[in-house]
Amino acid sequence: MSTENNAPVVSNFIRNIIDEDLASGKHASIVTRFPPEPNGYLHVGHAKSICLNFGLADDYQGKCNLRMDDTNPEKESDEYVQSIKDSVSWLGFKWDGEVRYASDYFQPLYDYAVELIKAGKAFVCDLNAEEMRAYRGSLTEPGKNSPYRDRSIEENLDLFTRMKNGEFPDGSKTLRLKIDMSSGNVNMRDPVIYRIRRAHHHRTGDTWCIYPMYDYTHCISDAIEGITHSLCTLEFEDHRPLYDWVLDNISIGCHPRQYEFSRLELLYALTSKRKLQALVNDGLVTGWDDPRMPTIAGMRRRGFSPAGIRLFAQRIGVSRGENIIDMSVLEGAVRETLEAEAPRVMAVLDPIKVTLTNFEEGVTASRAAPFHPHHPEFGEREVPISREIYIERDDFAEVPPPKWQRLTAGGEVRLRYSYVIKCDEVIKDATGRVVELKCSIDHDTLGQNPVGRKVKGVIHWLSCEHAIEAQVRLYDRLFTEPRPDAVRGEDGEYVDFRQFLNPHSLATVTACVEDVVLKAEPETRYQFERLGYFVTDRYEHQPGVKAVFNRTVGLKDSWAK
């Protein structure tokens, strides 16, 4: 899939490892997986991981599983499962077979736990959370053995069975691995692998009241699925010894290898489901798919194309080095893919009326214009002219700045696909605001240059009687700070990222657009000439009834300093 944008496949350390594993015969083909927890909508960071895992499977003719890592019943839901499936498919990827769920493996996970107990490698512990913390030690000090560590195998088996059967209250007991309380790696200090939690699970309902922990679940799920390369972000590096320990100590016969890469951090955005959830819960955005959200659903609604996001993922690369990326890189990739695929139309976002005083029915003519300058197959449409037209307010300046090439009092400009006009009169209201221009057409300039002079500027415009009205939503950065969740106050504590919301992140205007767009289906992308890329809203645009657009991105990077 990643080769689809004609961009060469960029190698990375993971591809090198795969190349070696295939060359040495360690694996005949690869199996990767993308394992989100269904506790929110996926964001742009997940897009990186999706493009990596599914992209590798595509490039190496392997397989990639989509696995819901659903071991925290309180936070997970079917809504999130559905949104995750939608996001992966929309990005253009196909998972192998059915969607998998860690919860499908609750029984084998339980059976392996029993196996570990029987081997004397796991024990039931009665320490509560606070005691457990005290016994754990710190980064500099070793931990202490739990007083319950030496329970007999029989007692552990009995207690674990009774934990499963619901005989003990929530949080009163855990099952822990017996590894090493003095390990320098805190993750290896007898980690908890099961806890008692009476919570309704979105798939298993009330069947279980004990739930396995992430570290224990993840490696076994990978092994059950025959994953060859288990790719995750760097914060799991210290968990790798535990991943390996579990697989080395059960009779599973498959040992995937874990490799870590750095998380994407996108400036002016947040890449944490929990923080994005806070924006949704507080009503600071309209939902997970608000076009300002860095979620995949939000980017989709904003008009970003799957190809643009895939190109972005390819450009940011995969490594173990810091991956802090400016929003302009994402927008640039999106812009590049839209350039070739979006038909052009004209729209006026902030109109001034222009009366063409010498417009003459039957004499003043219209021309057809192509929908795309380089794609004749996109077709063309008539761009009708009439006595009254709209132009963009900022394409007129009574007192023009130096090098002005647009319209000014007494000056000339070309209307895109139409005549050269001259501004003869400026009409203002009592406050001095320009409300109308009276202009004259040079009737000898349709499809040809004026004689004896040069007119450089070309502006977009619309015939008042032919244009339709559209609601257009102009989006800007959601935050005013590049790293809204990394700002510290005077006390050294993190400042709440909600303080850095950009109050101007959304402006809604009533614009005029060519009437063809009214027929467009939702999620149709256009370039509004000279203004940027816009998409018909996925939900609110109603073909034939009501045009609603979201601005995807401007034509140039307006954030470059």
Q: Which residues are annotated as a binding site for ATP?
A: 37-39, 233, 263-264
Candidates 85, 263, 406, 498; catalytic one: 263
Q: What is the DSSP letter of 501?
A: B
CB 84 → ligand ATP: shortest distance, Å?
8
Residue 291 in contact with ligand ATP, rule: CB under 6 A: no
Q: Binding of ligand ATP at residue 35 (CB under 6 A)?
A: yes
Q: Is 256 in the site for ligand ATP (CB under 6 A)?
A: no
Residue 288 CB, shortest distance to ligand ATP, in Å, is 12
Residue (of 199, 196, 189, 193) closest to 216 by Cα position: 193
Identify the helix (H) or strand (E) that includes residue 273.
Answer: helix 273-281
Residues 2, 14, 41, 45: which binds ligand ATP (CB under 6 A)?
45
> How many CB atoms sit inside 10 A of residue 373's CB?
9
CA distance 78 to 100: 14
- Amino acid at the residue 456: K
Q: 461-463 and 388-392 as β-strands: parallel, antiparallel, unpaired? A: antiparallel
What residues form the annotated binding site for L-glutamine? 69, 214
Q: Which of residues 207-236 bind ligand ATP (CB under 6 A)?
A: 232-233
493-532 residues in contact with Mg ion (CB under 5 A) are none
Nearest to 459, CA basis, from 507, 509, 510, 423: 423
| DSSP secondary structure code for residue 225 in this structure | T
Does position 48 interact with ligand ATP (CB under 6 A)? The reply is yes
> Residues at the annotated binding site?
37-39, 69, 214, 233, 263-264
Pick from 272, 355, 358, 366: which binds ligand ATP (CB under 6 A)? 272
Q: Is 36 in the site for ligand ATP (CB under 6 A)?
A: yes
**Annotated catalytic residue 273:** yes
CA 522 to chain centre: 19
> Among 33-41, 357-365, 460-468, 490-498, which window interacts with Mg ion (CB under 5 A)?
33-41
Residues 485-504, buried b or exposed e (16+ Cβ, 10 A)? Answer: beeeeeeeeebebeebbbee
Q: Which region, judged by CB under 6 A, interacts with ligand ATP, from 43-51, 112-120, 432-440, 473-481?
A: 43-51
Amino acid identity, residue 365? A
Give least dist CB 318 to ligand ATP, A: 9
Q: Which stretch binds ligand ATP (CB under 6 A): 71-79, 264-272, 428-436, 446-454?
A: 264-272
**Strand 257-261 relative to strand 367-370, pairing:** unpaired
Alpha-carbon span 162 to 117, nearest angstrom: 14
Query: Of 37, 336, 436, 523, which is the active-site residue?
Result: 37
CB of 72 to Mg ion, least distance (A): 9
541 with 520: CB under 8 angstroms?
Answer: yes
- Contact residues for ligand ATP, defined by CB under 6 A: 35-37, 45-46, 48-49, 69, 232-233, 263-264, 271-273
Active-site residue list: 37, 263, 273
Per CB under 5 A, residues contacting Mg ion are: 37
